[in-house]
Structure 1
Amino acid sequence: MAPVVWGLPLGQMQWSAFNSKNMFGNTDWHLRRTKFVVYQLALIFCVVSESLGTAALSDYVDEQKFVKGMNNNAYVYNNDYVGAASYNIFAGVFVAFIFGAAFFFDLFWPERHESKSVRIAWKVCGVLSTLAHLAAALELTIITSTRQGYVTGVSQAEGENLVGQFHKDGGTPLNYKKNGRAVAAVVFAWLGFCSVVPSCILLFLSIDNAEKGPGPKTAHAENREAAHEYANMPVSQRHSHDLEKQTDIAHPELSYQPSTRDPIEAHRAEEEVHSATPAADIPTER
C-alpha cells in the first residue's frame, strides 16, 4: 500500500493526472482549470525572467574577471545589476515554490482537507510571493533603465579598451539598458508579476470556498453526485427519502436550514435527481 504523508496518499501521484482531460476537462473542482492556466503562466514568466537575468549576470561577472585578468589594477563595477538579478532569481524561485506546490497539490489531491493553520500559511505565502516579485520587478527595472557599470583603477580610455576586448555573447555593454538580455528580463519580470497577482487572488478564492462555501467541489458536481446516489438507492430507502422530502415541503419550518446555494442551482439539482431516476426502480401502487 502506498504511504500517506501529512494525510496525503502518495499513491495518487500518477502520470495520468497530467493528461489534458484530467487537468482541463474536469469541471468538478472549484476554479480548477483557471488556476492551472494562471499558475503555469506565473511559473513560466518568472522562470524566463530569472533565466535571462542569470545569463546577463553571468556575463557581467565574467567581464569583471576578464578585465581583472588583463589589468590587475582595473575593476569593473557592475555589482548593482548583479545584486538586482540575484534578487530576481530568489523571487522567481519563491514564486515557483509556492504556486508550483499549489499546482501539484490541486492536481493530485484536489479533495484534501487542510487545517486552519495550513490555510493561513498558504495565504501568507501567496502575499509574500506577490510582494517579493513586485520588489524584484521594480528593482530590476530601475537598475536596468537608469544605471550602468564603470571601470575604476585605470583611465577611462584604457577601461573602455579593456571592456571592448571582452567578446562573450557578442560583448556585454556597461550600459545595462543596451543589454538585450537585461531588457528582456525586465519585460518578463512584469509579465510574471501580472500573473502572480491573479494567482494569489485565485489562491484566496479557492481557500475561502473550501472554508465558507460548499467545499473544493463545484455545485453542479455535488448535485450530480446527489442525483447518482438517489438513482442507486434501494426502493425502500428511496420511499422514506421521498417522504422526508415531502415533509420538508409541507412543513419547511421543521427542517429549515440556512443555505447559501443559489435558487437556480437548487432547481437544477431537483431536475437532475428526477432525470437520473431509472423508471424500473420507481415503486408502483397496486
Structure 2
Amino acid sequence: MAEMQWGKFKGSYMFNQVYHLRKTKMIVYQIAMIFMVCSESVGTAALSDYVDQQDGIQTRYGLHTENNDIVGIFAYNIFVGIAVATIFGSGFFFDLFWPERHESHQVKLAWKICSVIMCLLTLADAIGLTVIVATGRATIDGLSNSEAQRYFNLNGIPAPVYRKNAYCVASTVLCWIGMVGTYASTYIMWKSLAHNDAHGPMAAAYRNKGEEASVESRTSPNDVLPAAPEPVHAHAPAQTTTGHPVEPAPEMSQRTV
C-alpha cells in the first residue's frame, strides 16, 4: 500500500519510458475506459428518458409504449462500460503503482481471457446500438406511427425515432471509439505480458543500462590497491639501534675578534 502515492499521477512519472510500453498502455487503456464510460453515461440519460416515456404515456393516456429494444441495449451498454472500466482500469492502476510486480501464470492468463471477453462484449454492444438506433423507433400498441406521433408530441422528449435523439447517436459513436480502444488495449496488454515473461517489465534501454551499472559496480578482491606508504617527517629525531634518540650536536658559537 505504500506504493499508492498521489505523486505517481504526475505526467513525468505516468508517461515515463523506464518500463516497456508504459506510455502506450497509460494512453490506450484510458481511451478504452473513458469512451466506454462516456457512452454508458450518455446512454443512461437516454435510457431514463425512454423509461419516463413509457410511464408518462401509460399514466396520462392508458396506452402501452413499446420501446424495450432501446431500453435493453442501453442497459447492456451500461454493463459493458462497467466491465471495460473494471478490467482495463485495474490494469492501469496496477501498472501505475506496481509496475515491477510479479504475477503468476494463472493471473496472466486471467488478464488475457478477460481482455478478449471485453473485445467480444464491446463489439456486440457497438453493433447492437448501431442497428437499433439506425432502424428502430418507439411505438404505441394498437396505433399506427402517425397516430402514435400525436401522443409522443404531447408527452414531449424523447423523440420516438431513435436516430433523431442526439443522446442515442452520441452514445453509439462513443461506443465505437471505446470498442477500438478496447481492441488496442487488448493487443498492448498481450504484447506487454509477453515482454514481461521474456525480459521483465523494464524497457530495453534502461534494462541494458542497469546491467552495465551492475557490472561496473562489481570489483574483484585482487583489484584492491596497496596502501600508500606513510610519509617520513624530516623533523623527527633519528633513532639509534638501541631505540634511544640521538641528541643533536651543539653548535659551535663563533667568537668575535
* TM-score by shorter chain over 0.5: yes
Deviation at 1:238? Answer: 8.8
Identify, as 1 or 2, the structure richer in helix.
1
Higher relative contact order (CA 8 A, sep 6+): 2
Determine if contact 1:76/1:149 at 8 Å carries over to the other structure.
yes
Equivalence map 1:126-141=2 (5 Å):
126-141=115-130
Call closer, same or farther: CA 1:38–1:157 in 2, change over 3 Å.
closer
Q: List gaps (5 residues or longer) in structure 1.
A: 1-9, 240-281
- 88, 101, 108: which one aligns with 2:97: 108
Specify whether residues 283 and 81 from structure 1 end up closer, same or farther in structure 2 by C-alpha distance, changes over 3 A only.
Answer: farther
Match of residue 220 from structure 1: 205
**1:163 corresponds to which of 147, 152, 158:** 152
How far off its partner does 1:92 sit? 1.1
Whether 1:181 and 2:172 are equivalent positions in the alignment is no
Question: Does residue 51 of structure 1 match 2:35?
Answer: no
- What amino acid maps onto 2:180 in structure 1? C
| 1:94-151 alpha-carbon deviations (Å, 9 max, x no partner) | 1110000000000011111111111100000000001000000000000000111101
* In structure 2, distance between residues paired with 1:155 and 1:218: 64
Aligned partner of 2:52 in structure 1 is 62
- The C-alpha deviation readout for 1:165-224, integer Å capped at 9, x for no partner, is 223xxx21111111111011111111111111110000100111112x211111221222
Structure 1 residue 50 displacement after superposition: 1.0
- Could you say if the C-alpha distance between residues 44 and 237 of structure 1 is closer, same or farther in structure 2, counting changes exceeding 3 Å? farther
How far apart are 1:157 and its partner, in Å? Answer: 5.9
Q: Which residue of 1 aligns with 2:11?
A: 20
Task: Report the equivalent of 1:275.
Answer: none
CA distance in 1, matches of 2:221, 2:55: 81
The residue identity in structure 2 corresponding to 1:230 is: V
Matches within 5 A, 1:113-262: 113-153=102-142, 159-167=148-156, 171-211=157-197, 213-233=198-218, 235-236=219-220, 239=223
Length-normalised TM-score, structure 2 = 0.83
1:49 is matched by which residue type in structure 2? Answer: S
| Alignment-derived partner of residue 20 in structure 2 | 30
Check the 8 A contact 1:27/1:218 in 2, yes or no: yes
Provide the aligned length of Structure 1 versus Structure 2.
227
CA deviation vs aligned residue, 1:49-101 (integer Å, no higher than 9, x gap): 111111111100001111111012x0111100000111111111111100000
1:39, distance to aligned residue in structure 2 (A): 0.4
Structure 2 counterpart SS, 1:200: helix
% identical aligned pairs:
41
In structure 2, stretches of 5+ residues that fail to align are 227-257
Question: Which amino acid counterpart does residue 82 of structure 2 have in structure 1?
Answer: V
Quick one: distance in 2 between partners of 1:109 and 1:47? 25
SS, match of residue 161 in structure 1: helix
* TM-score normalised by structure 1 residue count: 0.75
TM-aligned CA deviation for residue 160 of structure 1:
2.4
RMSD of the alignment, in Å? 2.0
